[in-house]
Structure 1
Amino acid sequence: MEIQTPDRQVRLAVDLVNTRTLEPEQLTTPGDVRAFLLEHGESEPITLDENDLAAVHAVRERIRPVFHADPAEAARLLNELLAEYAVRPYLSDHDGSPWHLHVAKPGASWADWLAATTALGLASFAAGHGFKALGSCAAVDCERVYVNPAERRPRKFCTPTCASRTRVANYRARRP
Structure 2
Amino acid sequence: MDIQSPDRQVRLAVDLVNTRTRDPEQLTSPADVRAFLLEHGESDPITLADDDLVAVREVRARVREVFHADPPAAARMLNELLEEYAVRPYLSDHDGSPWHLHVARPGATWADWMAATTALGLATFAAGHGFEALGVCAAVDCERVFANPAEKRPRRFCTPRCSSRTRVASYRARQHAQ
TM-score (norm. length: structure 1) = 0.99
- AA of the residue aligned to 2:36: F
Q: Does 1:35 align with 2:35?
A: yes
Q: Does 1:159 align with 2:168?
A: no
Consecutive unaligned residues in structure 1, runs of 5 or more = none
Runs of 4 or more above 6 Å deviation: none
Aligned position for 1:88:
88
Aligned counterparts of 1:15 and 1:99: Cα–Cα separation in 2: 25
Aligned position for 1:8:
8
- AA of the residue aligned to 1:11: R
Aligned position for 2:61:
61
Pairwise CA RMSD: 0.5
Aligned counterparts of 2:100 and 2:92: Cα–Cα separation in 1: 6
Report the secondary structure of 2:127's partner residue.
helix
Report the secondary structure of 2:88's partner residue.
strand
Q: Does 1:175 align with 2:153?
A: no
- AA of the residue aligned to 1:42: E
Report the secondary structure of 1:175's partner residue.
helix
Aligned counterparts of 1:149 and 1:94: Cα–Cα separation in 2: 33
- AA of the residue aligned to 1:71: P
- Superposition deviation, residue 40 in structure 1: 0.2
Aligned counterparts of 2:33 and 2:49: Cα–Cα separation in 1: 10
Aligned counterparts of 2:163 and 2:131: Cα–Cα separation in 1: 21
CA-to-partner distance for each residue in 1:39-64, whole Å, 9 max, x for gaps? 00001100001000000000000000
Consecutive unaligned residues in structure 2, runs of 5 or more = none
CA-to-partner distance for each residue in 1:49-81, whole Å, 9 max, x for gaps? 100000000000000011111100000000000
